């Protein structure tokens, strides 16, 4: 099988059958690899790229693939889905306090990182300044997929998690603009002109993302769709539309999709657990497809000459550029030094730098193949080092945090003609709603527990019915008290029957 930029051959049913078989086997292997990754601590992205290398021209599959332009397009599309999934899962309560620090780290931090890394590439490796600046820009963006997947398995303080997640969602936008500008034909414009263009594109993308997200959330909350399965599709369509509108308006589409998804993810939309699961599944498919394709694009036997240069540039990035950018950007926000050390080590790279490295290849920049090889080796080596050791570093810094009481899973379905909502509430292990009587929930007038499902049996509860872990409740609430009922349920889940007396507030509960 050959996938390249050569003369196209007509696609037949036989070719389609082969392609479907290869894709299904790759997906199944990748799904199994997630379990291996969770047990070993090895980042799953490396396993996916390993699959691509294994089925490539230097591996057992003998698939020849060298289409950098197609890889760039598919990589952009996958990144849109990954950013949308990450935005939907970002809790506004965690991101809001860290917003200023994350924005500074995504802008000024990138500038510091580009300068230091480019200097190392020029003086230590001998690359000319244009190539060095491209490498510095390419590797200065933390990878959203890597950060989201690793951090959500490590219990860290909310400020650390919020800053790192928001930074990874924000910093793709300025880096993409910078790499495109450096890879364009002709000399680069004055730095202040380039800075102005970056800020303008970010402003346009932010405005469009917030607007599209707000309009989409308003529409989904006021229109009852005929099937619950349509809500996840609508949410992802709105998120992708934010990217398309932002990019078409010459703004940052990546920032637009992330902000629109964050608005949607915190808007208490109907059938939210189903929507979240659907988005997470699409995110996994995007990651798998992107990393496997990147593994196919690389030619392993050509990487040997660029191994040492990649290590030197990676050392400068990991031990100098990233810590310096964190110190410069976060010290004014009075972030404790232990958190700064952890965020310095948690600047994970992944598929995004490798995708960005295809931009100079498509533009025909001299030495672009070497840039791609250096970036590929750097990402693989330092992801192998940073990803598995991040929990250990967090433990040494004493920054692990107990997850506390488990949050309730609440799914809402609109009852349009009845002017109400049906809330499906799952009580997980660790929830402090365990042992609370139905009457002690003290739901607002207009809301009531109508059914309890326990161990496969459903019954109408009495006020004296005691709730247990594993119970599922059906709560009917009228439109005016729907939000108040959900806040009260989350508050009891976190603080028990004395939630009101203890000051526990469910308004900031995670989704």
Q: What is the pLDDT of residues 114-160, one digit of tens each?
A: 999 999 999 999 999 989 999 999 998 887 667 766 666 667 777 88
- How many Å separate Cα 417 from the centre of its chain? 37
The hierarchical CATH code for the domain 64-396 is 1.20.1530.20
Could you tell me the pTM of the whole model? Answer: 0.74
Spans of all domains in the chain: 2-54, 64-396, 409-508
Q: What is the model's pLDDT at position 503?
A: 47
pLDDT in tens, 61-97: 667 788 888 888 998 899 899 889 888 988 787 778 8
HEC string of 91-118? Answer: CHHHHHHHHHHHHHHHHHHHHHHHHHHH
CA 344 to centroid of chain Cα atoms: 19
Pick the CATH number of 409-508 from 3.40.50.410, 3.30.70.1450, 3.10.310.70, 3.20.20.70: 3.30.70.1450
DSSP state string for 309-329 = HHHHHHHHIIIIIHHHHHHHH
SS3 435: coil
**Neighbour tally for 282: CB within 10 Å:** 17
Tens of pLDDT, residue by residue over 218-264, are 998 888 787 778 889 999 999 999 999 999 998 889 899 999 999 99
Tell me the pLDDT tens digit for each residue of 15-29. 788 878 888 888 888
């Amino acid at each position: 099988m050959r996938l390249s930029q050569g003369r196209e051959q007509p696609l037949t049913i036989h070719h389609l059958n082969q392609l479907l078989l290869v894709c299904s086997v790759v997906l199944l292997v990748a799904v199994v690899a997630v379990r291996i990754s969770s047990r070993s601590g090895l980042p799953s992205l490396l396993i996916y790229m390993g699959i691509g290398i294994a089925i490539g021209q230097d591996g057992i599959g003998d698939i020849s693939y060298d289409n950098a332009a197609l890889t760039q397009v598919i990589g952009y599309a996958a990144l849109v889905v990954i950013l949308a999934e990450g935005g939907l899962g970002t809790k506004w309560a965690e991101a809001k306090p860290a917003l200023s620090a994350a924005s500074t780290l995504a802008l000024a931090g990138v500038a510091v990182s580009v300068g230091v890394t480019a200097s190392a590439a020029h003086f230590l490796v001998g690359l000319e300044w244009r190539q060095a600046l491209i490498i510095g820009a390419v590797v200065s963006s933390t990878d959203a997929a890597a950060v989201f997947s690793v951090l959500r398995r490590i219990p860290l303080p909310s400020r650390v998690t919020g800053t790192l997640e928001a930074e990874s969602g924000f910093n793709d936008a300025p880096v993409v603009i910078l790499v495109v500008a450096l890879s364009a034909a002709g000399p680069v414009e004055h730095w202040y002109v380039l800075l102005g263009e970056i800020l303008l594109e970010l402003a346009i993308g932010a405005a469009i993302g917030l607007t599209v997200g707000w309009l989409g959330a308003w529409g989904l909350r006021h229109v009852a769709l005929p099937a619950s399965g349509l809500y996840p599709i609508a949410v992802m369509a709105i998120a992708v539309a934010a990217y398309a509108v932002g990019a078409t308006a010459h703004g940052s589409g990546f920032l637009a999709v992330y902000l629109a998804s964050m608005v949607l993810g915190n808007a208490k939309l109907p059938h939210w657990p189903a929507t979240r699961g659907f988005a997470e599944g699409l995110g996994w498919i995007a990651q798998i497809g992107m990393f496997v394709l990147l593994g196919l694009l690389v030619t392993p036997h050509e990487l040997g000459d660029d191994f040492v240069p990649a290590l030197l540039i990676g050392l400068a990035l990991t031990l100098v550029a990233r810590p310096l950018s964190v110190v410069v950007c976060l010290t004014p926000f009075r972030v404790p030094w232990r958190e700064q050390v952890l965020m310095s080590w948690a600047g994970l790279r992944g598929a995004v730098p490798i995708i960005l490295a295809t931009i100079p290849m498509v533009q025909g920049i001299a030495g672009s193949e070497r840039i791609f090889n250096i970036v590929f080796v750097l990402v693989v080596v330092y992801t192998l080092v940073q990803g598995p050791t991040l929990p250990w570093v967090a433990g040494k810094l004493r920054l692990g945090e107990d997850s506390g009481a488990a949050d309730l899973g609440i799914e809402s379905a609109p009852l349009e003609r009845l002017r109400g909502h049906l809330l499906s509430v799952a009580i997980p292990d660790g929830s402090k709603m365990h042992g609370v009587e139905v009457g002690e929930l003290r739901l607002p007038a207009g809301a009531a527990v109508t059914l309890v499902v326990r161990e496969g049996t459903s019954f109408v509860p009495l006020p004296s019915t005691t709730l247990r872990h594993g119970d599922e409740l059906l709560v009917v609430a009228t439109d005016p008290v729907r939000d108040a009922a959900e806040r009260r349920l989350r508050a009891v889940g976190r603080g028990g029957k004395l939630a009101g007396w203890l000051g526990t507030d469910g308004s900031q509960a995670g989704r």
